[in-house]
Amino acid sequence: MWYLESYDNQTDLIAGSYLLLAITGDEIRELIDVDESELPLEMGPYPVALADVPKFAKYYRGRFQNQLRS
């Protein structure tokens, strides 16, 4: 299973976790432009720019909550 997680920058703790449904490692590679060569994509902390979060919407049921603090 793949999750998109948001972090609280002040505490470095997970602020939100969103289960991504029916997404493959290849689709993750395309969405976040990660190159792990021919190896299976390992689940890990890959940074996702805030502007790229909407790309994940079709894989998530529900709404993303704004977890940003100014």
Say if 44 falls within a structural domain.
yes
Q: What are the structure tokens assigned to 24, written together?
A: 């493959």
pLDDT at 45: 78
Domain count for the chain: 1
Q: Each residue's pLDDT tens digit in the chain (70 positions)?
A: 889 888 888 998 988 888 999 998 888 888 887 776 666 777 777 888 888 888 998 898 876 665 444 3
Residue 70 placed within a domain: no
Range of the domain at 48: 2-59
> Is 0.75 topped by the overall pTM?
no
**Domain-embedded: residue 64:** no
In a domain, 21, yes or no: yes
